[in-house]
Amino acid sequence: MMRILLAALLLLAAVCRVQAQDTPMQAVLQDNADLMVKSSRQTIGPVIDAVVASGLPQVQDVLQAWQAKEMWQRKADGLFFHGEKLDAKTYRLTDFDSGLPVGEFAKGDLRQLKPNSGVRALIGVALVKFQLSDPDPTKRRDALVSLERDPNGAALEALRASIAGETDPALLARKQRLERLLTMGYDTDPAARIAAMEEMAGDTGLDVRATLNPILQARLQVFDGEIPEAMNVLSRLEPGSDTLPVTVAYDLLVEQSKAPALISHDDMRNILAENIDGGRVGGIPVAKLDTDPARRQAFATLVEQGLTEAATTEDEIESYLSDYIFAEVYAEPSRAVTDAAAMALESISTRVGIGQAVDLTLDALSLASIYFLAAIGLAITFGVMRVINMAHGEFIMMGAYTGYVVQQWVPNHTASIIVAIPLAFTVTFAAGVAMERLVIRWLYNRPLESLLATFGISIALQQLAKNIFGTQARPLTAPSWLDGAWVLNDVVAISYIRIAIFVLALFFLGVFLFIMRRTRLGLETRAVTQNPGMAASMGINPGRVNMLTFGLGSGIAGVAGVAIGLFAKVTSELGSDYIVQSFMTVVVGGVGNIWGALAGATMIGFMQKGIEWFNPSNTLAAQTFMIVFIIIFIQFRPRGIVALRGRAAGD
């Protein structure tokens, strides 16, 4: 009875196997079973081609399972299935043709196909054809990303075929761009490649340049006679020129077995060491072989004795080189294609240069707006009151820490910034008024004493900040709508935070002009600035004006601290990083004048960015050169760019 049952089971398995082999996809897999199990990048190509060429609807499922290492072979009959892991020892198998489960099997009864990275890459290329037209937009997007990262000509036709049916506008634009790039790099029709290059010649994208540059790659080649006309030659090189040193040319001949190898100093020493006889080499004592002439003489003696081969002389090197022609030859055989690529790159280079100039200008304006925000308060206090306030940077630091504290209580970053700006102004305004009433008012017209006093206050405020907040940098997080950058192209971009600071600087410029020209405080401030004695005789209280002016300058510094803290580290030393630039901005622009501060900030911002552009790896050098230039500048224009009459000008 048991024998009959066993025979029935074997017969059933055989029937199932025959039926499975009769199914179309399983038949294709069985025809290539050996190569699939022992796959390698060199041998797997025909198997993938056979699966794709079958045209069956299961092709994509088979390739995806194979690539994901989810294809299993049943040891009993050698059939292939999609395997789903149920637990550590059990897998559920699904038939590729029917899509129906065929049962649960122990792991020991199965063999997993584990394609290496090279095989998976080839499978991925084959899958692109299906994924680019997949109904799921996510899969189409993933296929595009994969092809963008690793472009290849094999996917060009599949990409073109998928464009007509693409319904997503964003994916359609990406497909069309990628098709142009692949056409430039891989199309077999030179005319199509040239047309694509002419179409993309004005595009400054990195992907365009990355496609064009390999087309213009050339390598050094050596020719026995005249260069064949079919060769696409970039340039012919003469050995010994700046572009082709003699050693490089001769090494190429040695590499191609067209000339004997040179004997290096190390080789010569080894040969001499091997021929030591009685403490001598070629009749010269070993102790005297400590110079190159002595070693060459001993080596020449060994050559005469036939103990070693002669070294190649300089005359022989020149003779060998004169027998050959050296040239840089394009890997691309078509001259028309390389000419079109060169013209496209030249056009792109011009646009890139313009873009870099625009990007540098935006960076300079951004830096100028930061310096202006940091210096506008100092321009008020130093220009109007003639007080050298070395603690001005600490008001910037106080404003930044105010923003940090607000964010601890208001988690919404947009709301916290809206609250922090007026609160920082209020806190630093009050601190400025207190400082003016307690210290500064006693030191008017005593610049040295005011400098020392405010410097001491600066140190005290820094230490106070360290005691309260510690020495570690504190985060002042910008709202999410300030994340990222405004990107015009791959060359020109500016962060939204920098744009916001630029707008804030313009806003405070408008506020300051309104206060100075449309308010009583502004009128009194201008009067005290021009002639404090006459202003006092007209009923204006100079002490009150000085107090409010100092508070206004300090409050604006606090707002600047909030803005700067959005992109810079908030520490107790934050203000000291900007105090020097603030003083330079005021002095260069002209003390006591808001337009002078604006002009000074613009000049310093553009100058610093320009110097950094010439020497981008050394920002300290940029600072040094800038300071030297400013020292020279104030020798010729001591009152700054916009000179002011009155007390601030020293009248």
pLDDT score of 326 more than 60? yes
Confidence band for 521, pLDDT divided at 50, 70 and 90: confident
The residue from 120, 153, 187 where one domain ends is 120
- Is 8 domain-assigned? yes
User: Is the same domain home to 465 and 560?
Assistant: yes
- Confidence band for 645, pLDDT divided at 50, 70 and 90: low
Domains: count for the chain: 5
Q: In this predicted model, what pLDDT tens digit does every residue of 356-390 receive, in sequence order?
A: 888 888 888 888 888 888 888 787 777 666 777 88
Q: Is the pLDDT of residue 9 over 50?
A: no
Confidence band (pLDDT; 50, 70, 90) for 616? low
In a domain, 341, yes or no: no
Query: Over the stretch 128-187, which tens digit does the pLDDT of each residue have?
Result: 778 888 888 888 888 888 888 888 787 888 888 889 888 889 999 999 999 999 999 999
**Distance between start and end Cα atoms, the chain:** 126
Residue 108 lies in a domain: yes
Looking at the structure, do residues 257 and 270 belong to the same domain, yes or no?
no
Listing DSSP states for 361-401 in one string gives HHHHHHHHHHHHHHHHHHHHHHHHH----TTHHHHHHHHHH
Q: Tell me, what's the pLDDT at 4?
A: 46
Which of 69, 94, 120 is a domain's end point?
Answer: 120
CA distances 235 to 212, 214, 246, 253, 295, Å, are 19, 17, 17, 18, 41
Q: What is the pLDDT of residue 429?
A: 93
**pLDDT number for residue 341:** 92
Angle between helices 392-409 and 576-589 (to 10 degrees): 130
Q: Domain range spanning residue 141?
A: 132-215
> Per the domain annotation, does 9 fall within a domain?
yes
Same domain, 267 and 380: no
Let me know whether 385 and 514 are in one domain: yes
Percent of the chain with pLDDT over 70: 93
* Co-location of 192 and 149 in the same domain: yes
Same domain, 35 and 175: no
Q: Is residue 446 part of a domain?
A: yes
Residue 103: burial class (beta carbons within 10 Å; 0-12, 13-18, 19+):
exposed
Considering only CA atoms, which of 376, 380, 374 is closest in space to residue 528?
A: 380
> For all residues of the chain together, what is the average pLDDT?
83
Is 80 exceeded by the pLDDT of residue 255? Answer: yes
**269 found inside a domain:** yes
The residue that leads in pLDDT, 219 or 616, is: 219
Does residue 647 have a pLDDT over 50?
no
Q: What is the pTM of this model?
A: 0.66
Residue 344 falls inside a structural domain: no
Q: Do residues 258 and 374 share a domain?
A: no
Is 604 part of a structural domain of the chain?
no
The structure tokens listed for 413 are 């970053």
Residue pair 584/331 in contact by the 8 Å Cβ criterion: no
Return the structure tokens found at 579: 């105090």
Tens digits of per-residue pLDDT, 286-308? 777 788 788 878 877 877 777 77
Rounded mean pLDDT, 460-481? 88
Q: Which residues make Cβ contacts (< 8 Å) with residue 381, sequence separation at least 6?
A: 387, 389, 392, 549, 550, 553, 554
Q: How confident is the model at residue 618 (pLDDT cuts 50, 70, 90)?
A: low
**383 and 256 in one domain?**
no
- pLDDT value of residue 384: 63
Range of 395-404, 541-550, 604-613 with top mean pLDDT: 395-404
Q: Is it the case that residue 191 has pLDDT exceeding 90?
A: yes
Tell me 155's DSSP state: G
Q: Are residues 437 and 387 in the same domain?
A: yes
Report yes or no: 23 and 98 within 8 Å, Cβ to Cβ.
yes
Give the model's pLDDT for residue 52.
82
pLDDT tens string 210-251: 899 999 999 999 998 788 888 899 899 998 888 899 888 888
Reply yes or no on whether the pLDDT at 343 is more than 90: yes
DSSP 101: E
Let me know whether 246 and 149 are in one domain. Answer: no
Instruction: Kindly report the number of other CB atoms within 10 A of residue 160's CB atom.
Output: 15
pLDDT number for residue 553: 85
3-class SS at 426?
A: helix
Please check whether residues 250 and 275 belong to one and the same domain: no
Is residue 459 located within the same domain as residue 490? yes
